[in-house]
Amino acid sequence: MFVHDTLLNRLKRGCATMAYPAGPAPALPERHGGALRVEAAKCQADCAACVAVCPTEAVTRPPDRRVALDLGRCLFCAECVKACPTGAITQTGDHRLAVRRREDLVLGEAGNEQLRLAGVLDEKLRRLFRRSLKLRQVSAGGCNACEADTNVLGTIGWDLGRFGIQFVASPRHADGLLITGPVSKNMELALQKTYAAVPEPRIVIAVGACAIAGGPFVGHPQVHNGAGVLLPVDLFIPGCPPHPLTILDGLIRLLGRLEESGRKTG
Amino acid sequence: MNRTTPFALLTNGTALPWADVPEWPLPEFLRHVGAELDRGERLNSLFGVPEGGALRLVAVLAFDAGNTLVVGRSRPFSGSFPSLTATHSQAHLFEREIWEQHGAVPENHPWLKAVRKDHGAGPAVGDFFRVDGREIHEVAVGPVHAGIIEPGHFRFQCAGEEVLHLEIALGFQHRGIEEALAGGPHRATIYQMETVAGDTTIAHATAYASTLEALAGTEAPLRAQWLRAIALELERLANHTGDLGALAGDVAFLPTASACGKIRGDFLNLTAMLCGNRFGRGLVRPGGGPHDGGTERLGKLRERLETSLAEVQQAAVWLWDAASVRTRFEHTGHLHRKQATEIGLVGPAARACGLVRDVRFDHPAGWFRFAQVPVSVWPDGDVFARARVRWLEIQRSGEFLREQLDAAPDGETRSPLPPLAPDTLAVALVEGWRGEVCHAALTGADGRLRRYKITDPSFHNWTGLALALRGQAISDFPLCNKSFNLSYCGFDL
Ligand code: SF4
Ligand code: SF4
């Protein structure tokens, strides 16, 4: 008798949706590491140990300059953290990673050791989208893990719908695009057409290292190095893939829903 | 193996000198491949290796009953080659791929089209098979779909609701993974292997690691092999659970859909306990990985595993008890065992047609040499069978994990990888959750990768979906599609 059974079970379980953002955020996996922090001032002269191990050239050190780490390119493999002899690159354990401007992802210089987290949309857009943001997702050349962890936000534990955020079937019904993947050349036209079909005003969100800068496939002739090459991007959410909590933080941060729930945002 | 073959035998996860791979003039090579396929053997991979200005073909076949793989190659040739496809359907996509990658035309191929190439405006621009008739209409779907899904294009020929033919055009996710491997391994290679198909990170990374270890003449430490097996089964649990939930969702059976959506995440979080990443990034490395479970962590993992297994058990009971679900699952998207054999179907989709075919059992490598998982089969070939096999496998993976977590071998998880042997061929198969992942690698005289061929299970199985749709109502496409749940990026590379 599954009806009786499921109802009973349902009652016993109660509400499975997390209290966050009103309550505490769920913990990241212990070995996750979270965001990176880069203090270029700690670098030794002539050391480029981090540069030598980075798979995507996210860390660079041009001659006579300090180390710069581009979290947009970063796969969060932590090889640079292990390689650094002076502890200049460290993991902060912070799940919050979303930024509004591409250049805000470059860490290292004094004052820029940590991310400048995304602020809220401009007032006009915020008023429009705060209670209802419909997104069309476009998957364009990645590995499908960013998609998977975006999808997770629709499950009962996360319940993205409670913020009025919803993924819709048609770009005509959407307020913006959420793009994953480096944008393969083979998806270029489809992405352009989907974007054009979204009525204005519209926003673009790039989720994952691929969509920000090409990810593990950066530099391949078969891909563009991120959505920003083709479209104006309003929100960058780094990670490979970003943890669902990181994606959620980015989305509700953009809508100003974090302040509303009384959380510190910065 | 108690019969002779002209091919060279090769155990899963081992290597042999390129010079020892038997070679024949092209016609003879094709005849030998055809003869083995006629005997019922299976084509794991068929690919080209450029040689000067010419091309060689290399075939990797599985003799499942003999528990061995075999390899052979043609002499270098230029121009075209007679197609095997007309008589051996298993070869059809491989031959199209060879044409696309090397320009060698398979003569008399019945449907010669690009596999992943852009035709100026995306891979879906081009000729599709068309059915003529006044009542016939064509439906085109994709590349951008309704949900959060990867891009692909589906072209249906329908008479009213009924699908007469479905053609699938892929390639939208093509990002040049194989091309980038030439001259490697490079620093980014392992990260690209982990993202061939993001939901199959462990299986592809394990196939890659085993291939490199075979080329280097070494093995990962036992504890690393054990950890890979643990992670592989966790990957299977997460994805199969997600699939059961998605199938339930597609027939509007919400209790199981919502429960499984959550439990899937719980399984992913078990993988994240091991390495910090829900998809297992960073866990598998050639020579063995940096992460060790640690007794306390593994104990906790074992406890949480029990909770999740109990929950998925509950969600599955609801699903199987519901008559409304059974009527939607049964007789939908039917595939005959004979068709499955012909097209070389792999994984749960093949086992759901009654085929006893599982790399963990037929070609055990790594930890599976010491610990077996029984093969789960179901005879009917429909959506019900594909769901049922997943459920059987969830239980068996759970059982395997219980046993193995209690029997961890001691020791290191990593060892240095010696240099790769020059002019050597290695092949590794891994039973990923979708089926057989095949990696084949050839090194050059410099010990660098000269050719690397990846065959994701989806490469074999997309044809199965197309066949299963014949005679179905087009409205059942989402359900049929979900019952296969194939990878676009794994196919597109
Ligand atoms: S953590 Fe990021 S920056 Fe550091 S090595 Fe890995 S990819 Fe490069
Ligand atoms: S950023 Fe990483 S996880 Fe996301 S699609 Fe790209 S490769 Fe996959």
Residue ranges and CATH numbers for the domains of chain A are: 123-261 (3.40.50.12280)
**ipTM given for this complex:** 0.94
Contact flag B192-A217 (C-beta cutoff 8 Å) = yes
* Domain-wise residue ranges, chain B: 8-107, 198-444
**Interface contact A5-B262, CB threshold 8 A:** no
Query: Selecting from 3.40.50.2000, 3.40.50.360, 3.40.50.620, 3.30.460.80, what CATH number does the domain B8-107 have?
Result: 3.30.460.80
Query: In B, which residues are within 8 Å of A177 by CB distance?
Result: none
Ranges of residues in chain A with a pLDDT under 70 are: 1-2, 261-266
User: How far is residue B169's CA from residue A186's CA, in Å, rounded to a whole number?
Assistant: 12
The answer to whether the CB of B263 falls within 8 A of the CB of B386 is: no
Q: Whose CA is nearest to atom 4 of ligand 1?
A: A80
Interchain CB contact of B13 with A (< 8 Å): no
- Cα–Cα distance between B159 and B376 in angstroms, integer? 36
Contact state of A186 with B173 under an 8 Å Cβ cutoff: yes
**Distance from C-alpha of A152 to C-alpha of A161, rounded to nearest angstrom:** 12
- The pLDDT of residue B1: 62
Interface contact A137-B148, CB threshold 8 A: yes
The predicted structure's pLDDT at residue B122: 76
Two structure tokens written together for A41: 């001032």
Provide the pLDDT for residue B6. Answer: 94
Please give the pLDDT value at position A262.
60
Q: What is the pLDDT of residues B6-27, one digit of tens each?
A: 999 999 999 999 999 999 999 9
Q: Which amino acid is at B209?
A: A
Residue keyed to tokens 């309704």 = B146
Residues of A in contact with B199 (CB under 8 A): 144-145, 148
Q: Which pLDDT value is given to residue B123?
A: 85
List pLDDT tens digits, range A17-47: 999 999 999 999 989 999 999 999 899 888 9
Q: What is the 3-state secondary structure (H, E, C) of B301-321?
A: HHHHHHHHHHHHHHHHHHHHH
Q: pTM score, two decimals?
A: 0.96
Contacting residues of B for A12, CB less than 8 Å apart:
none
Q: Which residues on A lie below 8 Å from B151 (Cβ)?
A: 138-140, 187, 190
Helices (H), chain A: 2-13, 49-53, 79-83, 123-129, 145-151, 188-197, 208-213, 244-254, 257-260
* Residue whose C-alpha is closest to residue A255's, from A131, A154, A150: A131
Residue A109 in contact with ligand 1 by CB distance below 6 A? no
Strands A59-60 and A68-70: antiparallel
Q: Which amino acid is at B312?
A: V
Q: What is the pLDDT of residue B295?
A: 86
Contact B388, B191 (CB under 8 A): no
pLDDT tens sequence across B54-103: 999 999 999 999 999 999 999 999 999 999 999 999 999 999 999 999 99
Query: For residue A214, what is the nearest residue in chain B, using CA coordinates?
Result: B175
Size of interface A-B (CB pairs under 8 A): 179
Is the pLDDT confidence value at B119 over 70?
no
Asked if A34 and A92 count as a contact pair (C-beta separation under 8 A), the reply is yes
pLDDT at B125: 79
CA distance A49 to A46: 9
The answer to whether the Cβ–Cβ distance between A144 and B487 falls below 8 Å is yes
Structure tokens at B242: 């997600």
Q: Tell me, in angstroms, the distance from the centre of ligand 1 to residue A33's CA.
A: 12
Mean pLDDT over residues B248-258, rounded?
Answer: 94
Q: What is the average per-residue pLDDT within B414-425?
A: 96
Q: What 3-state DSSP class applies to A20?
A: coil
> Distances from the Cα of B139 to the Cαs of B48, B158, B159, in angstroms?
35, 7, 11
* DSSP states along A188-218: HHHHHHHHHHSPSS-EEEEEHHHHHH-GGGT
**Sheet containing A165-167, strands listed edge to edge, beginning at the edge strand earlier in sequence:** A165-167, A133-139, A176-180, A203-207, A235-237
User: Nearest residue on chain B to A4, judged by CA atoms?
Assistant: B318
CATH of domain B198-444: 1.10.645.10
**Distant-in-sequence, close-in-space partners of A23: CB < 8 Å, separation ≥ 6:** none
State the nearest Cα–Cα gap between B224 and chain A, in angstroms.
Answer: 18
